[in-house]
């Protein structure tokens, strides 16, 4: 592969500018150097934040993204900046989690994708959101997401 295939990337190697909203964020992709081989990619974001649309209070989540790429990979710096664009975005847990998964799937068109959103308690109740699309082949090993269930104090 040559550097020419990366010439259209706008964020890799550039300034760290965070979009004001997720809709304005640029999510980029790069060619899969092992297309034709089935393997899993995992990203974790243990300090994801957004804003409650009603109270304006911050919400926190541990996100775990697993996917089996086809022709494209999500470019990791653009993913980080995309996720960061949610920090001042007001939406419910379900809307944030599912929209993140769908946006990644839209640009990468993976063979299989799963996003677990493990949200920290609000009002004493943790909310966990799970999204999946595509078909997972038996040849790919997908480990458990490994996020401990919330057990309160003690």
- From the list 52, 70, 91, 128, the catalytic residue is 52
Check: CB of residue 59 under 8 Å from CB of residue 93: yes
Q: Please pick, among 8, 38, 59, 96, the residue that the annotation labels catalytic.
A: 59
Mark whether 59 is an active-site residue.
yes
> Is 44:60 a contact under the CB 8 Å cutoff?
no
Catalytic annotation on 91?
no
Cβ atoms of residues 115 and 97 within 8 Å: yes
The encoded tokens of residue 109 equal 């068109």
User: CB–CB of 26/11 below 8 Å?
Assistant: yes
Sign, CA dihedral 11-17-20-22, equals positive
Q: Among 60, 123, 58, 63, which residue's Cα sits nearest to residue 88?
A: 58
Active-site residues, by number, are 52, 59
């Amino acid at each position: 592969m040559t550097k020419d295939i990366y010439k259209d990337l706008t964020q890799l190697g550039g300034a760290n500018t965070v979009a004001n909203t997720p809709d304005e964020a640029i999510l980029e992709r790069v060619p899969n150097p092992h297309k034709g081989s089935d393997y899993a990619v995992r990203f974790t974001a243990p300090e994801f934040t957004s804003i409650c649309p009603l109270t304006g209070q911050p919400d926190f989540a541990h996100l775990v993204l697993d996917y089996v790429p086809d022709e494209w990979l999500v470019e990791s710096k653009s993913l980080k900046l995309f996720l960061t664009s949610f920090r001042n975005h007001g939406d419910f847990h379900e809307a944030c989690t599912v929209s993140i998964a769908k946006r990644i799937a839209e640009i990468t068109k993976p063979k299989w994708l799963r996003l677990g959103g493990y949200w920290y308690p609000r009002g004493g109740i943790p909310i966990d959101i799970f999204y999946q699309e595509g078909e997972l082949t038996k040849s790919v090993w997908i480990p458990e997401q490994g996020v401990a269930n919330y057990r309160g104090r003690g």
